[in-house]
Chain A
């Protein structure tokens, strides 16, 4: 049973560029959430996708957008990269009807913006 997978593992981009990160949820999960984690801080919620729609969004600008595909996998896109976007980007999957709200996190994508 595969857990949450993310690609790529590491990425280096230049200011102003655009980036796409990918996530495949744990088998059987239908909901994908994206988080940004700066060094030494807790994960910050970006948005969540369920049934191919953005269900909830955190306090992030429109430069951050996403998509969920029919197979439940998801992409996070960030446009016009800023130095402050350098962080670990975590994808978490869950089951919408689960009682415990348990989320399974992927290993993350380390994005460095220079």
Chain B
């Protein structure tokens, strides 16, 4: 199985912290990536977790637990520009299976 599950929508206010969860099926796992996509734009890479634990990149952090087939993206100090769709993507061979995406709306 290659499917991933994410919440379809998340809403938060500016300055808050939000967590976007991702669960996946485990066959052929090669790591979990996160991408951001603004409306009308291309997906842009945010982070990659090959091993369990937390990876921090500025205001964004990503976590992976391979034993739980679970990961999350944590966005801190939310800004209006963070309003976008966020996709987790599971490594499969040399490519990725993308989740359905979570639409994040940041309110003033």
Contact = CB atoms under 8 A, between A and B. Distances in A.
Given A103-B96, A107-B41, 13 more contacts: A4-B42, A31-B94, A40-B101, A43-B98, A45-B98, A48-B95, A92-B43, A96-B94, A100-B48, A101-B33, A101-B96, A105-B42, A105-B43
Nearest to A33: B95
Interface of B: 30-31, 33, 35, 41-45, 48, 50, 87, 89, 91, 93-101
A44 interface: yes
A101 B87 CA distance: 15
Contacts of B50: 99
For the complex of A and B, list the 3 residue pairs with the smallest distance between their C-beta atoms, beginning with the closest: A42-B98, A105-B42, A100-B48
Interface residues of A, number: 28
A45 B41 contact: no
A103 B31 CA distance: 13
Interface of A: 4, 31, 33, 35, 40-45, 48, 50, 55-56, 58, 90, 92, 96, 99-108
B97 A45 contact: yes
17 contacts: A33-B95, A35-B98, A40-B101, A41-B100, A42-B100, A45-B95, A48-B95, A55-B94, A56-B93, A56-B94, A96-B94, A101-B33, A101-B48, A101-B96, A103-B96, A104-B45, A107-B42
Contact of A90 (B33, B42, B94, B97): B42
B63 to A, nearest CB: 16
A108 B30 CA distance: 26
B45 to A, nearest CB: 5
A9 to B, nearest CB: 11
Contacts of A105: 35, 42-44
A44 B43 contact: no
A102 B44 CA distance: 9
A48 B106 CA distance: 35
